[in-house]
Amino acid sequence: MKTSKIVGYCFLVLAVLYVLAFIFTGFDFTLRKFWAPKEEQLRYDTQKQSKAFRDGTITELYSNRTEYLAEKDEVVKAGMRDRMLHVFTTIDKDYLPEDLVKFQKEIEDEQIEYKKNHSSN
């Protein structure tokens, strides 16, 4: 009789462990689902603050400015302004060189003027 009770308790313990493992796995999934977006946002913010990201963005903006100044078609320039203004929003202005800050202001003003003149209202 003692042997069957021991075997029964072992099966009961295994069953309880199985159920607990299932619950904790499900709970872990729920925690991961909750924390993953916050973790990814932190990773993105850290990457945005890195020197390599800033240097690459500044290089991209200088390259875009050169292409923009060489472009003659106003419609193409409007699209380029939209793109560059979007890129400007990805970098902290404290890290931008003064000439790029001035250029940003110029293209913002030009884009406002373009949209006023080409609105479909």
Report pLDDT digits (tens) over 104-117: 999 999 999 998 88
**pLDDT over 60 at 37, yes or no:** yes
Q: What is the pTM of this model?
A: 0.61
For residues 81 and 86, give the distance between their C-alpha atoms in angstroms, rounded to a whole number: 8
Structure tokens at 90: 């990805």
Q: For position 31, what pLDDT does the model report?
A: 61
Q: For residue 93, give the DSSP letter.
A: G
For residues 115 and 81, give the distance between their C-alpha atoms in angstroms, rounded to a whole number: 11
Instruction: Give, rounded to a whole angstrom, the gap between the first and last alpha carbons of the chain.
Output: 91
Residue ranges per structural domain of the chain: 1-48, 51-117
Report pLDDT digits (tens) over 68-80: 999 999 999 999 9
